[in-house]
Amino acid sequence: MRDFYGTTLKNGLMLGTAQYPSPAIMVEAFKRSAACVATVSLRRESGNDRAGQDFWAIIRDLGVHVLPNTAGCHSVKEAVTTAHMAREVFGTKWIKLEVIGEEDTLQPDVFGLVEAARILTDDGFQVFPYTTEDLVVAGKLLDAGCEVLMPWGAPIGSGLGLNNPYGLKSMRAHFPDVPLVIDAGLGLPSQAAQAMEMGFDAVLLNTAVAKAGDPAAMAEAFAGAVHAGHLAAAADPMEPRDMAAPSTPVLGKAFLL
């Protein structure tokens, strides 16, 4: 696996911690999937009265890397403030940076995202930016100090999968040495496998697992898909071709005269 700010993850599955029917089901999902990163959102009140400490204790007991996020932030100031609170509460330099610019699709405000990424990087954060597959924006995020990019597959919570395979493949080809994570929009394990087959380093998802009829079983299914996709990419898969090619050689075949 590729390093994320100097940390080598044991697999490419990152799971969110919201929307599960119960904390016990969330814990079981992490156990069965062996996901190595948990994303955790922070609300403003947590920074003042330490609300949610029981939940934080559950997250610590998972024994995974914690990636706080700035979910729900719509401005640079709000995202930067939330990131500083998260560093205080969770004790990590990692931050999943979200600056939302459009309500219906929850598409990132890429202008604010770049600005916030530069501010946080200068403040010592290790930023995981939730972005689009736009190559120009990606380059500006890297120039701002980001060492990881997290393009969306589809709108958050939609389950639509990879809406723009061409754009995502282009990003992978354009930035071969940058850790890339598909963040948001995955609904099925097959979509996660597709992302890994493209050469992405990890996938991050929440709703597809938390809202499944059996979240723990779905989490395990995603883990298997991520592993299969990673193995397939490493195995150097065949190129697609327009014409058929026999799998059994014709050499030595009997011909009737």
Of all helices (H) and strands (E), which one includes residue 52?
Answer: none
Q: At what angle do helices 135-143 and 110-122 cross, to 10 degrees?
A: 20
The amino acid occupying position 64 is V
Catalytic: which of 10, 93, 96, 211?
96
Cα distance between residue 107 and residue 156, in whole Å? 8
Classify 133 as helix, strand or coil: coil
Q: Which residues are annotated as a binding site for 1-deoxy-D-xylulose 5-phosphate?
A: 157, 184-185, 206-207
Catalytic residue flag (residue 211): no
Pick from 211, 154, 209: nearest CA to 183: 154
Q: Which two tokens stand for residue 20?
A: 């599960």
The number of angstroms, rounded, from the C-alpha of 174 to the middle of its chain's C-alpha atoms is: 19
Of the candidates 86, 87, 151, the one whose C-alpha atom is nearest the C-alpha of residue 113 is 151
From the number of C-beta atoms within 10 Å of its C-beta (0-12, 13-18, 19+), residue 32 rates as: middle
Query: For residues 229 and 197, what is the distance between their CA atoms, to the nearest angstrom?
Result: 5
Sign of the CA dihedral with 170 first, then 174, 176, and 179 last:
negative
Residues belonging to the active site: 96
